[in-house]
Amino acid sequence: MKQLEGRVAVVTGAASGIGLAIAEALVDEGLRVVMADIDEHQLTGHAARLNEQGADVHAIAVDVRDPDAVARVGRAAVDRFGALHVAVNNAGVVNRGYSWELSLDEWHKVIDINLWGVIHGIRSFVPLILATGEEGHVVNVASMAAVLPLDRLGPYTVAKHGVLGLTDVLRAELAAVGAPVGASVVMPGKIRTAMNPIGTVQASTVAANVLDGIRRDRSYIFTDDHSTSQVEDRLRSILGSRADVRP
């Protein structure tokens, strides 16, 4: 996108961590932002702070597992700001345990938020972005778990692999219909957030990369070099396993 100032964005999971950092970076660039999160108390506090600092943001509580609630977020952007140009599907949770021991409820919680939340965002936000006829961008926040399986993080890894594939499909579909709308998938590594307090990279680094990705239409946004060699080894292993076996 060549023009960011004055545009309108939605960010889910915006009450803390990466989502909050992205929302702050967007308002610094002059965007008007709808901040959405399930944590209404923390969300409204940050929105009030940003508005006091001169931003133009609107907070709305949402559980991204609810498609109707996500649709209301999109409508709120249009009702309040007149349009929607940028959607950042960021809301996510994580749990840990062996795949065969995690309960179905634990599986559903992670996949319903981390993958279905993105699906609901795409279904709700993309039509609104397309309706403007202007440049737009969709950012889906995944993880290094989208390209590297992580031990005892089965639901999280499954969901983030899905976000990667879904973003690739969305990008191809937008190109096929000639829409001036890009799609990026973000794959952060060891980011210091409430979900990962031992991380070594600040959430602001992710936000800076997201802004650059929107500006330059980066399909894949890696935010650091964590696990680079392991990801490359995995890809080589996959490609090297091909065999021409004939009956």
Domain range for residue 168? 8-240
Residue among 119, 156, 187, 210 flagged as catalytic: 156
In a domain, 47, yes or no: yes
Pair of tokens at residue 99: 């795949």
CB 149, CB 160: distance < 8 Å? no
| Mean pLDDT within 93-105 | 97
Q: What is the pLDDT of residues 21-78, one digit of tens each?
A: 999 999 999 999 999 999 999 999 999 999 999 999 999 999 999 999 999 999 999 9
In a domain, 123, yes or no: yes
| Mean pLDDT within 188-194 | 85
* Per-residue pLDDT, 234: 93
How far, in Å, are 167, 186, 201 from residue 238 at the CA level? 21, 22, 29
pTM: 0.95
In a domain, 2, yes or no: no
| CATH number of the domain where residue 48 is located | 3.40.50.720
244 has pLDDT over 80: no
Query: CA 20 to CA 14: how far, in whole Å?
Result: 4
Tell me, what amino acid is at 61?
A
Q: What is the pLDDT of residues 154-169, one digit of tens each?
A: 999 999 999 999 999 9
Confidence of residue 150 (pLDDT cuts 50, 70, 90): confident
In a domain, 3, yes or no: no
Residue 220 is among the residues annotated as catalytic for this protein: no
Sheet holding 32-37, edge to edge: 57-61, 32-37, 8-12, 86-89, 136-141, 181-187, 220-222
Q: Please, what is the angle between helix 104-114 and helix 154-176, to 10°?
A: 30
In a domain, 138, yes or no: yes
* Per-residue pLDDT, 245: 74
In a domain, 246, yes or no: no
Helix%, strand%, coil% for the chain, nearest 5: 50, 15, 35
Counted domains in the chain? 1
Q: What is the pLDDT of residues 195-212, one digit of tens each?
A: 777 677 899 999 999 999
